[in-house]
Amino acid sequence: MVGADSFYYLGGILRAGKRGYALVHEPSVLRKCNVQPMVTFAKCQICTGGRFEFFIKSRNNGNTSAIYYEGLYAALIVGPEKCIRILQPNVPNHDLSTLAIGIFSVCIGNDKEADKAVSAIEANHYDLRSGDSWTGS
């Protein structure tokens, strides 16, 4: 898929007209395109042009990276409880979202939920007792 490496690669298709616009905004594309460069390369770019709308559409269509970044941003603005609710659709399939839920659960004093998150990480992603380093996805 063209947008799997970066959403930037969708720009040429997007500028091709109505058909390109419709193709780029297909739910299957929005779900799988990589929005990470949008939030890590130049944070100010998320609010320029139609990028914010594209990010929101990606999040609403189940893009795990968009949900993850939206959840982290929400933790700064509205607190960890709201963050946990935003990240919940990614658990247990997305390792970083699961880890974030565990950390935020500890922050709000919900040790049982934190324990569930750590157990989900170990069951679905990494053997935490192996001693190998973990870099996330």
| pLDDT digits 0-9 by tens, 114-123 | 888 888 888 7
Summarised one tens digit per residue, pLDDT across range 77-90 is: 888 999 999 999 99
Residue 19 binned pLDDT confidence (cut-offs 50, 70, 90): confident
Question: Across the chain, how many H-helices and E-strands are there?
Answer: 9, 0
pLDDT at 101: 93
0.85 exceeded by the pTM? no
Which pLDDT belongs to residue 135? Answer: 59
Average pLDDT over residues 98-104: 91
Decide: 7 and 33 in contact? Cβ < 8 Å: yes
- pLDDT tens digit string along 24-63? 778 888 888 888 777 776 555 555 555 678 788 888 999 9
What average pLDDT does this structure show over 87-109?
91
Under the banding of pLDDT at 50, 70 and 90, the label for residue 106 is very high
As a whole number, the mean pLDDT across the chain is 79
pLDDT at 14 exceeding the cut of 70: no
Question: Beta-carbon neighbour count of residue 124 at 10 Å?
Answer: 13
Token pair, residue 118, equals 């750590």
H or E stretch including 83? helix 80-87
